[in-house]
Amino acid sequence: MSTLSRATIAQLAEHLENAELQAFDVTKITDDYPDMDWEDAYDIQWEIRSRKQARGTKVVGLKMGLTSYEKMKQMGVDVPVYAFLADYFNVPDGGTVKTAELIHPKVEAEIAIITSKPLRGPGCTVAHVLAATEAVLPAVEVIDSRYRDFKFDLKSVVADNASSARFVTGGNLKRVDQVDMKTLGVVMEINGQVVATGAGAAVLGHPAASVAMLANMLAERGEEIPAGTFIMTGGITAAVSVKAGDSVCVRYQDLGSISMTFV
């Protein structure tokens, strides 16, 4: 049940989207709207999505966030969230990320999938996800909360499209039966130094569990995951801050590597 009026949802969506587009930080929106609920938070996120689509931006995928215990501990929260990926978030592998367009970027190593069939909850399980996975591929997310010093609560994060900002994908695409997503290892390097390591199981025990949760969360709004959807399943490690001049390379067991430079 929503608590905010349509006008307030529209105004908060504009406020947060402006912060994203113009790279300025804001205070968490629950400071002004302490009674807002989960439906309000997702209503604001979906309104941001509609604003972008009305301007011709394409939605090119979905993501889950806060799916690893390390990440939940880092941010002091305890429930995963979902968000959408816009076409202009995508940076080519080996490309540059412009820090002037961002506030305080951090990078996360993730495993992504592409679905072959629609997935609809409630009751979507790892088994359904594995049977509907066309391909597994690596992805690195650049998150950039619009909230000052990454100080937020979960509802504020959801409204802010779960800090989505940029992502890079590439590497080697594998069929689901060619990789074990659970034991798949990743090594993140910044300027040649290893800064984080992990395995797919960090993501809710299995990255496919994250996709199942996404289908079940979307079902609460009567939505499904369409066939052919690119989905980033969530950071395997805690997020690592980056600055202009940094080179990031993430090496994935069986899936190759992904790199980018921050300028």
Residues that bind ligand 0L1 (CB under 6 A): 63, 65-66, 71, 75, 108, 141, 143, 145, 150, 157, 162-163, 234-235, 239
Q: Which residue in the set 20, 40, 47, 141 belongs to the binding site for Mg ion (CB under 5 A)?
A: 141
Residue 163 or 169 with smaller CB distance to ligand 0L1: 163
Residue 13 or 238 with smaller CB distance to Mg ion: 238
| 235 lies in the binding site for Mg ion (CB under 5 A) | yes
Q: Minimum Å distance from CB 139 to Mg ion?
A: 9
Long-range contacts formed by 32-38: CB under 8 A, 24+ apart: 33/3, 33/4, 33/8, 35/3, 36/3, 36/4, 36/155, 37/1, 37/2, 37/3, 37/155, 38/155, 38/158
User: Which one-letter DSSP state was computed for residue 83?
Assistant: E
What the block records as the tokens of 28 is 């968490």
CA dist., res. 113 & res. 109, Å (int)? 14
Q: Minimum Å distance from CB 27 to ligand 0L1?
A: 15
Q: Which residue in the set 17, 40, 108, 246 belongs to the binding site for Mg ion (CB under 5 A)?
A: 108
Residue 113 or 143 with smaller CB distance to ligand 0L1: 143
Give the angle 49-50-52 at the CA atoms, nearest 5°: 65
Asked if residues 37 and 3 have their Cβ atoms less than 8 Å apart, the reply is yes
| 47 lies in the binding site for Mg ion (CB under 5 A) | no
Q: Minimum Å distance from CB 70 to Mg ion?
A: 12
Q: Minimum Å distance from CB 70 to ligand 0L1?
A: 11
Residues 61-100 that bind Mg ion (CB under 5 A): 65
229 CB-contact burial (10 Å; exposed 0-12 / middle 13-18 / buried 19+): buried
Q: Which residues lie near Mg ion (CB under 5 A)?
A: 65, 108, 141, 235
